[in-house]
Chain A
């Protein structure tokens, strides 16, 4: 474990050195959140009938999404695909006496903590000086909510690793990366809460794995779920973690056989 603590510490220094990059990534999500909130403000405060939610709910959802988007949205897939597999740097990792999967996990963690920190500071600032954000307060629910957030991080990490190692079989990864981003935006709740989607796609959107990386954790922190629903979310997260980890192991072993060690 000590060696992974060292990896974490090294990449924490790296992430702190490039904190402006983190700030720009944070700005991307902040800007999206800001635009959607402006839009909903105009719609929900104009007194239209049949509005799907209140402005207060919208503020709470999008501000928590700002933290979750920065803390839980992993961006490791591009590095795995382009730098490690396509440029052949994976060879260096394969020669080292520790797991590539765990290395990447501890490499990504400091970046998420720093960006999540930016989100948390913004949320606290807004909550203290502008508008109070409603979050879960039930003492029995809080440990479950924390578990859901941690599980969401792990699930998102495994999902992004799978997306990254698909580069073993592709010469150009850009198209696939774009398709993945589109799916992620549509199915994670970044655009609109999944429970507000049209009924035809809502039921599918709520049970697929991407929803458990962002949407369900945000709703859990909002206090929108009962205790039994929280257990359900946690259970489903672990079903997806186990299934996706199995898929990752399968693809990893198959992929290594086609990896040419000098790039794809």
Chain B
């Protein structure tokens, strides 16, 4: 474990060095990152302009849901999704061999190699917006409820990562589907809508999409004091279960990897 922490620290330093070398690139990405964050917030403002509530969620609560979505997804994009994009490219271009021969765990190497520092601005913007919405809603929050929500947000990140990794592992067999990453960005955006929106779906679709809706809904419900014990336990159980499944599936998939030269 210590070795992996040391490697990760070294990777952070390398990523920082890259950032300082390609400064214009960083500024471009920073603008784009802020743009995505702003668009996410703008979307919900536009969608709720003529609306007082949707699926039992008041307009302010929907805005809070989207504010927290910006924070959690911002962190996910900073540390994880950038690597998922790289993963699809690596598999598509037949470069996975280069990762597998490294003397470190392949899932670690493929999931945490890059850091997108430009997402910091998106996170800060969404955080500021979330605090502002909470203030305007006169939400009573205690230190313990904030810490609890932060803890759940971290667990949500594990769930989000597991969903992405499980789906992208399929690229080992279907290497041409590298655009699956774009689909996952689209799929992920469902997390910013109320969970209740999905209850009208056929049970099979609901079963597939439901874990994603827990990612943001549960921490927000904690802040709104409407979360139940079952909500929290479901998030924790799904995070642990899907993380375990993602790990097992990756190991299984690697057994079927034929490498670029085969």
Residue A113, interface by CB 8 Å: no
Given contacts A18-B176, A21-B179, A35-B189, contact A174 B32 (CB under 8 A): yes
Q: Tell whether, in the assembled complex, residue A182 and residue B47 are in contact, meaning their CB atoms are under 8 Å apart.
A: no
Given contacts A18-B176, A21-B176, A25-B179, contact A38 B54 (CB under 8 A): no
Residue B177, interface by CB 8 Å: yes
Chain B, 169-193, contact with A by CB distance < 8 Å: what is the 0/1 string? 0000010111110110011011001
Residue A20, interface by CB 8 Å: yes
**Bound complex: CA A192 to CA B138 (Å):** 30
- Across the interface, B198 reaches (CB within 8 A) one of A28, A38, A52, namely A38
- Across the interface, A28 reaches (CB within 8 A) one of B27, B35, B183, namely B183
Q: How far is the CB of B34 from chain A (nearest CB, A)?
A: 10
- Across the interface, A175 reaches (CB within 8 A) one of B28, B177, B198, namely B28
Residues of A within 8 A of B252 (CB): none
Q: Tell whether, in the assembled complex, residue B35 and residue A182 are in contact, meaning their CB atoms are under 8 Å apart.
A: yes
Q: How far is the CB of A93 from chain B (nearest CB, A)?
A: 22
Residues of B within 8 A of A35 (CB): 189-190, 193
Q: How far is the CB of B42 from chain A (nearest CB, A)?
A: 7
**Bound complex: CA A228 to CA B27 (Å):** 46
Q: How far is the CB of A20 from chain B (nearest CB, A)?
A: 6
**Bound complex: CA A171 to CA B29 (Å):** 13
**Those of B13-37 within 8 Å (CB) of chain A:** 22, 24-25, 27-33, 35-36
**Bound complex: CA A31 to CA B196 (Å):** 17
Q: How far is the CB of A102 from chain B (nearest CB, A)?
A: 26
**Bound complex: CA A52 to CA B186 (Å):** 25
Q: How far is the CB of B70 from chain A (nearest CB, A)?
A: 14
Q: Tell whether, in the assembled complex, residue B186 and residue A31 are in contact, meaning their CB atoms are under 8 Å apart.
A: yes
Residues of A within 8 A of B174 (CB): 20
**Bound complex: CA A25 to CA B32 (Å):** 22
Residue A50, interface by CB 8 Å: yes
Residues of B within 8 A of A39 (CB): 47, 54, 193, 197
Q: Tell whether, in the assembled complex, residue B197 and residue A175 are in contact, meaning their CB atoms are under 8 Å apart.
A: no
Residues of A within 8 A of B187 (CB): 31
Residue B49, interface by CB 8 Å: yes
Q: Which residue of B lies closest to A175 (CB)?
A: B28
Q: Tell whether, in the assembled complex, residue B27 and residue A175 are in contact, meaning their CB atoms are under 8 Å apart.
A: yes
Residues of A within 8 A of B42 (CB): 186
**Those of B156-212 within 8 Å (CB) of chain A:** 174, 176-180, 182-183, 186-187, 189-190, 193, 196-198, 200-201
Q: Tell whether, in the assembled complex, residue A182 and residue B39 are in contact, meaning their CB atoms are under 8 Å apart.
A: yes
Footprint of A on B, CB under 8 Å?
Answer: 22, 24-25, 27-33, 35-36, 39, 42-43, 46-47, 49-55, 174, 176-180, 182-183, 186-187, 189-190, 193, 196-198, 200-201
Closest 10 CB pairs of A and B: A175-B28, A178-B32, A172-B25, A52-B50, A182-B35, A42-B55, A175-B32, A28-B186, A175-B29, A24-B179
Q: Could you name 12 residue pairs across A and B whose Cβ atoms are closer than 8 Å?
A: A21-B179, A24-B177, A24-B182, A46-B54, A175-B25, A175-B28, A178-B33, A182-B32, A192-B46, A192-B47, A196-B50, A198-B49
